Amino acid sequence: MHALDVLGDPVRRRILELLAQNELSSGEVVEVIHGEFGITQAAVSQHLKVLRENGFASVRPEGARRFYAIETASLREVDQWLERFRSHWEPKLDALATEVARGKRKRRLSEQ
């Protein structure tokens, strides 16, 4: 499965957002995802499996519990793919930052 196919699912993106904050047990992930998306524990487990099998998450067993953490290798792959498109938006963001700075300067000077 291509990395963007994995990230195309909103549940998997949300799981990655959670794991980006810190390592979580599968039960903690299920609790949040069930509350937000209303899906079952089995469905969340399938999403965790897809993330794990595609290099976005790792699992660490501790007794009967499983703890999930984010893996960055696949995210770097996505970042590298996006690199070819950055030239389309970075100059526009730079121009926006310049205009915001001009506006702040103009406002500051008019208040003096």
pLDDT tens, residue by residue, 19-68: 999 999 999 999 999 999 999 999 999 999 999 999 999 999 999 999 99
Would you say 19 and 58 are in contact if contact means Cβ atoms under 8 Å apart?
A: no
The Cα–Cα gap between 15 and 29 comes to 7
How confident is residue 15, by pLDDT bands cut at 50, 70 and 90? very high
Contact 50, 3 (CB under 8 A): no
Residue the block writes with tokens 């995210």: 75
The whole-number pLDDT of residue 58 equals: 97
Q: What is the pLDDT of residue 44?
A: 98
